[in-house]
């Protein structure tokens, strides 16, 4: 009986209860099964009509991951449309979990690390929710369309059940449910002009993370200036989406014609450059915000209690004292090799100067602007300083010499400035390690 597979790497993951599977299995020929167990969003058929040829699942919903075929330029052609023109993404997988009721603000303030009372109606914030051990459960965009109502636009973990479970014991006067609201993202430098044509000039006045209630062809929507790119961009939240999906989608297509609008998949190459994390890929419920450049999400001046507060404050006290309460930390990397122009099927392994495997890459891609491959990855804290030399074991299709690791160096995050500076960037510019 074989007890150990020869492809089982020796990277230390002793801090985790459930380690990441670091076996290098490569690309798979397995076809994803389409069944009724996984939901089709209201935009799914429209994505197919737009040329979607591959997909994954996210929040138990089919999620488009490619429109332009490799022979026609693939993901880099989609990237070009994003950074130079304007794009539309089917992101209905960002399920909307509503918290509504007299105690909505108090409840939300208890489950997020940031201060919910500072989110005024008609605005939103990027936030995180942690468990009692300080592990990140989700990192949604939190919208507040009304004083007694919040929408969690969630990343890839089933937050609704946890929120409902928390309230079993707490008994806040709120209703917690998923609503029939599905967003599309409109991203790129021409996004503002497109939306001004679609809904009027008032959209130009929406601040970053601001909300605007309006209509598209008579359909009620909420537009936010948010996105997953670091580029100028918006999200259109379609209310009663199962009824109105086609109306809004086709209206955007029509308005976008003069701007060269292209339907694309989420552009992970641009979000990596912006230092935007992907839950489940870069972080999860065993990840502390202090490990992944999200320390600004842990306030120093929030008086109210929240889930995970005691543990996160303990971790911060260790850091303030000059220590670091973890073995591993996420860093940015620049690395050699041929241009990485597609999703990585594995967590590629990182080695130190002695060729000892010490970490793994989570999100790699080619940056045309920087003329190099960039990545997010996990390394031991003693190897996390900017400029530290490392090696990355790339698959043969990207390696400079098959079988040989490529040189890499720890780099500052973000790799590229965002059009709208994130709360992390703003806090850093003001000399703070936390966001207001």
Contact by Cβ (8 Å): 27, 345:
yes
pLDDT at position 431, please? 81
**314-354 tens-digit pLDDT:** 999 999 999 999 999 999 999 999 999 999 999 999 999 99
Is pLDDT above 90 for 430? no
pLDDT of residue 6: 78
- The answer to whether residue 1 scores a pLDDT higher than 60 is no
* R_g (Cα) of the chain, nearest Å: 22
CA distance 340 to 399: 10
Distance CA 172, CA 4 (A): 49
pLDDT tens-digit readout, 41-71: 999 999 999 999 999 999 999 999 999 999 9
Which tens digits make up the pLDDT trace of 112-157?
A: 999 999 999 999 999 999 999 999 999 999 999 999 999 999 999 9
With contact defined as beta carbons under 8 Å apart, do 305 and 152 qualify?
A: no
- Asked if pLDDT for residue 210 goes beyond 70, the answer is yes
CA atoms within a 13 Å half-sphere pointing along the CA-CB vector of 207: 7
Helix axes 104-111, 159-170, angle to 10 degrees: 110
> Where does the pLDDT of residue 249 fall: very low under 50, low under 70, confident under 90, or very high at 90 and above?
very high
Question: What is the predicted pLDDT for the residue at 397?
Answer: 96
Residue 74: how many CB atoms within 10 A of its CB? Answer: 15
**CATH numbers and ranges of domains, the chain:** 181-260 (3.30.1360.120), 276-429 (3.30.1360.120)
Distance separating alpha carbons of residues 338 and 373, to the nearest angstrom: 8
What pLDDT does 2 receive?
Answer: 58
Cβ neighbours of residue 123 closer than 8 Å, sequence gap 6 or more: 144, 207, 209, 210, 211
pLDDT value for 422 = 83
- 245 backbone dihedrals φ, ψ, rounded to 5°: -55, -50
Burial of 253 (0-12, 13-18, 19+ CB in 10 A): middle
The predicted model scores a pTM of 0.96
pLDDT digits 0-9 by tens, 389-410: 999 999 999 999 999 999 999 9
Helix (H) or strand (E) holding 46: helix 44-49
Q: Give residue for tokens 């468990």.
A: 131
The SS3 of residue 244 is helix
pLDDT-derived band at 27, boundaries 50, 70, 90? very high
Q: Is pLDDT larger for residue 2 or for residue 309?
A: 309
pLDDT recorded at residue 428: 80
Q: What is the pLDDT of residue 7?
A: 86
Q: Which of 26-35, 237-246, 353-362 has the lowest mean pLDDT?
A: 26-35
Looking at residue 416, its pLDDT comes to 92
> Where are the alpha helices (H) located in 85-232, listed in sequence order?
104-111, 159-170, 191-199
Q: φ, ψ for residue 342 (rounded to 5)?
A: -155, 170
User: 179 Cβ partners below 8 Å, 6+ apart?
Assistant: 96, 97, 98, 151
With cut-offs at 50, 70 and 90, classify the pLDDT of residue 432.
confident
**Over residues 238-250, mean pLDDT:** 98
Kindly report which listed range (30-34, 318-322, 351-355, 423-427) carries the lowest average pLDDT score.
423-427
Bridge partners, 98 (sequence order): 151, 177
Section 260-271 average pLDDT = 96
Helix or strand holding residue 410 (H, E):
strand 406-411
Alpha carbons 156 and 279: distance in angstroms, whole number: 6
**pLDDT at residue 8 in the model:** 83
**Count of residues in the chain:** 436
């Amino acid at each position: 009986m074989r007890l150990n597979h020869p492809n089982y790497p020796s990277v230390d993951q002793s801090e985790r209860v459930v380690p990441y599977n670091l076996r290098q299995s490569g690309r798979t020929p397995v076809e994803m099964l389409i069944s009724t167990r996984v939901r089709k969003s209201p935009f799914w058929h429209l994505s197919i009509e737009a040329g979607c040829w591959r997909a994954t699942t996210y929040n138990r919903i089919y999620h488009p991951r490619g429109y332009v075929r490799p022979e026609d330029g693939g993901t880099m052609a989609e990237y070009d449309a994003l950074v130079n023109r304007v794009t539309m993404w089917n992101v209905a997988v960002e399920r909307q979990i509503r918290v509504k009721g007299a105690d909505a603000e108090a409840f939300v303030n208890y489950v997020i690390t940031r201060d919910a009372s500072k989110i005024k109606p008609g605005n939103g914030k990027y936030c995180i929710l942690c468990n009692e051990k300080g592990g990140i459960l989700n990192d949604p965009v939190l919208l507040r369309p009304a004083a007694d109502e919040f929408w969690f636009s969630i990343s890839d973990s089933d937050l609704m059940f946890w929120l409902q479970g928390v309230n079993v014991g707490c008994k806040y006067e709120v209703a917690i449910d998923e609503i029939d609201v599905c967003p599309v993202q409109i991203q790129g430098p021409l996004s503002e002009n497109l939306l001004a044509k679609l809904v009027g000039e008032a959209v130009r006045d929406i601040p970053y993370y601001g909300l605007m209630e309006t209509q598209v062809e008579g359909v009620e929507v909420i537009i936010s200036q948010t996105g997953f790119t670091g580029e100028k961009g918006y999200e259109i939240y379609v209310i009663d989406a199962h009824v109105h999906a086609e109306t809004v989608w086709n209206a955007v297509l029509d308005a976008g014609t003069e701007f060269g609008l292209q339907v694309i998949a989420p552009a992970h190459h641009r979000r990596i450059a912006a230092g935007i994390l992907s839950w489940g890929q870069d972080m999860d419920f065993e990840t502390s915000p202090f490990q992944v450049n999200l320390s600004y999400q842990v306030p120093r001046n929030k008086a109210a209690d929240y889930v995970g507060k005691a543990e996160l404050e303990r971790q911060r006290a260790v850091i303030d004292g000059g220590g670091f309460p973890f073995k591993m930390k996420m860093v940015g990397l620049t690395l050699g090799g041929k241009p990485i122009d597609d999703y990585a099927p594995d967590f590629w392994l990182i080695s130190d100067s002695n060729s000892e495997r010490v970490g793994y890459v989570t999100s790699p891609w080619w940056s045309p602007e920087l003329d190099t491959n960039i990545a997010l990855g996990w390394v031991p804290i003693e190897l996390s300083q900017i400029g530290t030399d490392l090696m990355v074991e790339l698959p043969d299709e990207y390696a400079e010499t098959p079988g040989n690791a490529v040189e890499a160096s720890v780099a500052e995050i973000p790799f590229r400035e965002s059009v709208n500076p994130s709360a992390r960037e703003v806090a850093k510019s003001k000399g703070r390690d936390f966001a207001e």
